[in-house]
Amino acid sequence: MTAVAATKALFNPLKLGDIVIPNRIQMAALTRNRSNKTVPTELMAEHYAQRARGGTGLLVTEGVLITRQGTEWEAAPGIWNAQQVAGWKRVTDAVHANGSFIYAQLWHLGRVSHPDAPQQKLAGVPVYAPSAISARGGKFRFLPGQPGYVTPTAIEDPTSLIELFRQAAINAKEAGFDGVELHGANGYLISQFLDSGSNQRTDKWGGSVENRTRFPLEVLKALVSVFGNNVAIKLSPAGNLLTEASKLPLSYVALMRYSPYLDAEYDGKKRATVHDTLESYRSYITNSDTKLFLNSGVQAEEAAKLIEEGKIDGGSFGMPSVLVPDLGKRFKYGKPLDNVPNFPLMQIGVGEDPEKWDVGYNDYPAAKYAEDEI
The answer to whether the CB of 259 falls within 8 A of the CB of 28 is no
Q: How much is the average pLDDT of 56-76? A: 97
Check whether 258 has a pLDDT greater than 80.
no
Question: Which positions ≥6 away from 139 have C-beta within 8 Å?
Answer: 72, 146, 147, 148
Mean pLDDT (whole number) for 42-48: 97
In contact, 99 and 54? CB cutoff 8 Å? no
- The 10s digit of each residue's pLDDT in 161-208 is 999 999 999 999 999 999 999 999 999 999 999 999 999 999 999 999
Distance CA 97, CA 12 (A): 21
DSSP state of 334: T
- Listed in sequence order, the DSSP H helices in 67-108 are 82-97
Amino acid identity of residue 159, one-letter, is: T
Q: What is the pLDDT of residue 265?
A: 67
Catalytic one of 188, 252, 361, 364:
188
What residue segments make up the domains of the chain, in order of their start? Answer: 3-356
Average of per-residue pLDDT values in the chain: 93
Specify the CATH number for 3-356; select among 3.20.20.70, 3.40.50.720, 3.40.50.1370, 3.40.50.1820: 3.20.20.70
With vertex at residue 78, the alpha carbon angle to CA 132 and CA 344, rounded to the nearest 5 degrees, is 90
Q: Is the pLDDT of residue 310 over 80?
A: yes
If residue 317 lies in a helix (H) or strand (E), which one and from where to where? strand 314-317
272 contacts: CB under 8 Å, gap ≥ 6: 258, 263
How many Å apart are CA 90 and CA 320, to the nearest integer?
24
Q: Classify the C-alpha dihedral 282-285-287-289 as positive or negative.
A: negative
pLDDT of residue 143: 95
The pair phi, psi for residue 62, each rounded to 5°, is: -60, 165
Closest CA to 328 of 24, 45, 103: 24
Is residue 188 annotated as part of the catalytic site, yes or no? yes
The answer to whether 289 touches 249, Cβ cutoff 8 Å, is yes
Instruction: Give the model confidence (pLDDT) of 67-122 as tens digits.
Output: 999 999 999 999 999 999 999 999 999 999 999 999 999 999 999 999 999 999 99
> Where do runs of H (alpha helix) occur along 273-372?
277-281, 300-308, 319-323, 327-333
pLDDT higher at 349 or 213: 213
- Give the Cα separation of 20 and 15 in Å (integer): 4
CB 73 within 8 A of CB 347: yes
Closest-CA residue to 57 (of 292, 316, 346): 316
On the question of pLDDT at 270 being above 70, the answer is no
pLDDT value at residue 17: 98
Looking at the predicted structure, is the pLDDT value of residue 374 above 70?
Answer: no
How much is the average pLDDT of 122-139? 97
- Among 103-107, 321-325, 368-372, the least confident range: 368-372
pLDDT for the residue 124: 97
CA triplet 298, 99, 303: central angle to 5 degrees?
15
Q: Quick one: which of 45, 21, 20 has its CA closest to 32?
A: 45
How many percent of the chain have pLDDT more than 90? 85
Residue range 259-268: average pLDDT?
Answer: 66
Distance CA(10)–CA(282), nearest Å, equals 19
pLDDT of residue 1: 45
pTM of structure: 0.96
Asked whether 308 and 9 are in contact (CB, 8 A), the reply is: yes
Q: With beta carbons less than 8 A apart as the criterion, state whether 121 and 147 touch.
A: no
Phi-psi region of 59 (alpha: psi -120 to 50; beta: other; left: phi over 0): beta
Q: Is 355 helix (H, G, I), strand (E, B) or coil?
A: helix
What CA–CA distance (Å, rounded) separates 358 from 366?
Answer: 15
